[in-house]
Amino acid sequence: MRQLIIIGSGPAGYTAAIYAARANLSPLLIASSVEAGGELMNTTDVENYPGFPEGIQGPALMALFQAQAERFGTTVVLDDVTKVELDGDVKKVTLGSGETIESLAVIYATGSAYRKLGVEGEDRLSGHGVSWCATCDGFFFREKVIAVVGGGDSAMEEANFLTKFASKVYLIHRSENLRASEIMQERARQNPKIEFVLNKVVERIDGDELVTGVQLRDTVDGSESHLELSGLFIAVGSDPRVHLVHGQLDLTEEGTIKVDGRSSRTNLPGVFAAGDVLDPTYRQAVTAAGSGTVAALDAEHYLASLPRDIVANAVESETVPA
């Protein structure tokens, strides 16, 4: 039995761990087996995280988060959570290893997962020219013509990054209105290797073994066209990772976890949410970190409100998964 389990290893999860560890809650943080560190692991320069005026690489920032959490007594487990049972006084979290760990409180900070386009060829050619991660796969497209789909900051960032490798990067977006911040848009517009293809949606991704192109439809006049490409990077946002808590935690209309006002309290006592999984709007590393702080403080107050012997028993029996 633990006092606190934190699920998720992005800025929200690690910040919650730093605060909880410093409050002597000895948190166990489940970081996932393949994607430990969250979305920033797929990012290059992080230029807007305060304290790093020259910017910092996403993976380097996450390594610092982890080191700071561990310094104060967080135990990080590299495994996936396969099941959670969150009602009742004792919460149960089952790992990919098959082990079930119990705790008095849980902070749910699982972030969000990349959205798909839902078009023909997308799944079949995933890993064969279709990618969701420029930093992971950009290298394979040296001197190739490729495209990025999306109009947000992620799409601008990916397109700019990919010009380090590709000879040309089309930026395909379904309207003329970009969601990306001015500075990111401007950087993409001024990059001579980037060409904007606006008012177009991808209808199909073509290729037998590897991507050879995309079929586009104009969103204004409905006309169809074809673009020859060696690769397609999809950056159309992400959806909160809530599949494990369906039927247990209340969700908002946007699909994020519903919390009580500005707190991190979910509908279940002892269960708190933090980061992108509850935030449909701001979704920044720094807001996720702030949200992790709120969750840790709420969890601390919750644990302090429980009968002393229950918490003492949990502290005594704190075990670390093998």
Using the minimum distance from each CB to ligand NAP, give the nearer residue, 44 or 103.
44
> How far lies 271's CA from each of 4, 123, 223, 233, 274, in Å?
10, 35, 50, 36, 10
Distance from C-alpha of 38 to C-alpha of 307, rounded to nearest angstrom: 35
If one asks whether residue 290 binds ligand NAP (CB under 6 A), the answer comes out as no
Pick from 105, 117, 271, 273: which binds ligand NAP (CB under 6 A)?
Answer: 117
- Reading the block at residue 235, the tokens are 């950056």
If one asks whether residue 237 binds ligand NAP (CB under 6 A), the answer comes out as yes
**Closest approach of Cβ 41 to ligand NAP, in Å?**
13
If one asks whether residue 167 binds ligand NAP (CB under 6 A), the answer comes out as no
Distance from C-alpha of 239 to C-alpha of 280, rounded to nearest angstrom: 9
If one asks whether residue 82 binds ligand NAP (CB under 6 A), the answer comes out as no
Residues 45-64 binding ligand NAP (CB under 6 A) are 48
Q: Are 151 and 173 in contact (CB under 8 A)?
A: yes
- Reading the block at residue 199, the tokens are 């008012």
Distance from C-alpha of 73 to C-alpha of 79, rounded to nearest angstrom: 18
If one asks whether residue 22 binds ligand NAP (CB under 6 A), the answer comes out as no
Considering only the C-alpha atoms of the chain, give the largest distance between any 2 of them, rounded to a whole number of Å: 70
Using the minimum distance from each CB to ligand NAP, give the nearer residue, 102 or 120.
120
Residue closest to ligand NAP, measured at CB: 152
Any idea what DSSP says for residue 31? -
If one asks whether residue 150 binds ligand NAP (CB under 6 A), the answer comes out as yes
If one asks whether residue 171 binds ligand NAP (CB under 6 A), the answer comes out as no
If one asks whether residue 279 binds ligand NAP (CB under 6 A), the answer comes out as no
If one asks whether residue 186 binds ligand NAP (CB under 6 A), the answer comes out as no
If one asks whether residue 153 binds ligand NAP (CB under 6 A), the answer comes out as yes
Rounded to the nearest angstrom, the gap between the alpha carbon of residue 134 and the centroid of all alpha carbons in its chain is 15
Q: Of these residues, 137, 153, 206, 298, which one is catalytic?
A: 137
Pick from 121, 151, 270, 292: which binds ligand NAP (CB under 6 A)?
Answer: 151
Any idea what DSSP says for residue 245? G
Active site residue 260: no
Rounded to the nearest angstrom, the gap between the alpha carbon of residue 208 and the centroid of all alpha carbons in its chain is 31
If one asks whether residue 283 binds ligand NAP (CB under 6 A), the answer comes out as yes
Pick from 27, 58, 138, 152: which binds ligand NAP (CB under 6 A)?
Answer: 152
**Which residues face 217 on adjacent strands?**
201, 224
Q: In what order do the strands lie in the sheet with 130-131?
A: 130-131, 231-234, 145-149, 168-173, 194-198
If one asks whether residue 154 binds ligand NAP (CB under 6 A), the answer comes out as yes
Task: Identify residue 170 by its one-letter amino acid code.
Answer: Y
Name 179's Cβ contacts closer than 8 Å, sequence gap at least 6.
151, 152, 153
Find the distance separating the first CA and the last CA of the chain, reported in whole Å: 14
Q: Of these residues, 45, 80, 133, 218, which one is catalytic?
A: 133
Active site residue 221: no
If one asks whether residue 175 binds ligand NAP (CB under 6 A), the answer comes out as yes
**Which residues face 195 on adjacent strands?**
170
**Closest approach of Cβ 214 to ligand NAP, in Å?**
12
Q: Candidates 29-37, 51-59, 218-226, 232-240: pick the segment binding ligand NAP (CB under 6 A).
A: 232-240
**Closest approach of Cβ 10 to ligand NAP, in Å?**
12
Binding site for ligand NAP (CB under 6 A): 48, 115, 117, 149-155, 157, 174-175, 179, 201, 235-238, 283-284
Which sequence positions are flagged as catalytic? 133, 136-137
